[in-house]
Amino acid sequence: MKIWIAFWNIVLKDMRAYYLKPPNISWGLIFPIAWTAMFFIKSGRGLDDVLGLLPGVVAISILFGTTSMLAVTITFEKKGRSFERLLLAPISLELLMLAKTGGAILFGVVNALVPVAIACFLSDLSRVAWGAVVPAVVLIAIASTFMGLFIAVSVSEIFEAQTFSNFFRFPMIFLCGLFFPIDALPMLLKPLAYVLPLTYGVDILKGGFQGSNIMPLSLDFVGICLFCMVLFYFSLKNIHKKWIS
């Protein structure tokens, strides 16, 4: 019970201190709206293709909403030494890091809801397989946040966190099958697509929204879950190595 009080209050504190600040709320709303509008105008295929756009805008909204936010907030707290206070709390490092990432994961999920909410007014979503979409949204948010965590423990300056985030994010959005089908990628780049967590998340979203997934959904779920575990494991290992050495 006691450790859950600590867990919940870390999540709440981060939400209040970082994610529910007006600039972040507006960013969280404007960014997905802008992505949706951009994709919509560019596709030129009218309202019928809204479902075709959703996997892309949902995935990108989560990826951009979570990765750098977490990387920056943790780097900021590490620099200001307030992160030390958390390390001194009598809760396990695993639970502490889950609490730190909890706020960002929720923020990512809320980011994903924006384009879906817009789509509700523009298209018929009755055929969407929510049983696949909802867990995919949560798993993409977890994977993106853990990627932010991995970045946060690998850098020491806030600007490095931003740069490092982009270093991962931009290649990822072009290689995960959103803009170019994975089959159409050059032979050399194809294997890269399969070592990106977003590839599996996007494939589930494509399956959930349109039924156009290229891999079995079970494989996608296993793939993205594995990425979440590996990223979390190496982040914790890095924290032990770099921050509690």
Partner 1 sequence: MLLLGGGKGVFVAMTTNPGSSAIIEVGELTKRFGDVTAVDHVSFQVERGELFGFLGPNGAGKTTTINMLIGLARPDSGAIRIGGLNCRKNPKAAQHLIGVVPDESNLYPELTGFDNLCFCAALYGMGKPARIARATQLLRDFDLSKAAHRKFGGYSKGMKRKLAIAAGIVHQPQILFLDEPTTGIDVASARNIRQLLADLHRSGTTIFLTTHYIEEAERLCDRIAFIVNGRIVKIDQVASLLKPVQDRYATIVNGTGLNPSFLGELSASFGGLEFHLHSQDRIRVESSMPIHIGPIVKFLEDKNVAVTEARRMHLSLEDVFVQITGIEADAMKLEKMKAAA
Q: If binding means CB under 8 A, how many residues of this protein chain bind partner 1?
A: 24
Residue closer to partner 1, measured from CB, 100 or 206: 100
Structural contact between residues 96 and 89, judged by C-beta atoms closer than 8 angstroms: yes
Residue closer to partner 1, measured from CB, 43 or 82: 82
Phi, psi of 127 (to 5 degrees): -95, 5
Pick from 26, 43, 92, 166 the residue near partner 1 by CB under 8 A: 92
Amino acid in position 70: L
Both tokens assigned to 176: 């995960």
Asked if 244 interacts with partner 1 (CB under 8 A), we say yes
Asked if 236 interacts with partner 1 (CB under 8 A), we say no
Q: What does each C-alpha distance from 83 to 10, 92, 188, 236 come to in angstroms?
A: 11, 14, 41, 14
Asked if 1 interacts with partner 1 (CB under 8 A), we say yes
Asked if 89 interacts with partner 1 (CB under 8 A), we say yes
Instruction: Round to whole Å and give the CA distance between 132 and 54.
Output: 14
Instruction: Round to whole Å and give the CA distance between 32 and 116.
Output: 10
Give the nearest distance from C-beta 74 to partner 1 in angstroms.
13
Give the nearest distance from C-beta 10 to partner 1 in angstroms.
8
Pick from 87, 117, 219, 222 the residue near partner 1 by CB under 8 A: 87
DSSP 8-state symbol, 214 = S
Binding site for partner 1 (CB under 8 A): 1-3, 5-6, 9-10, 13, 17, 80-82, 84-93, 244-245
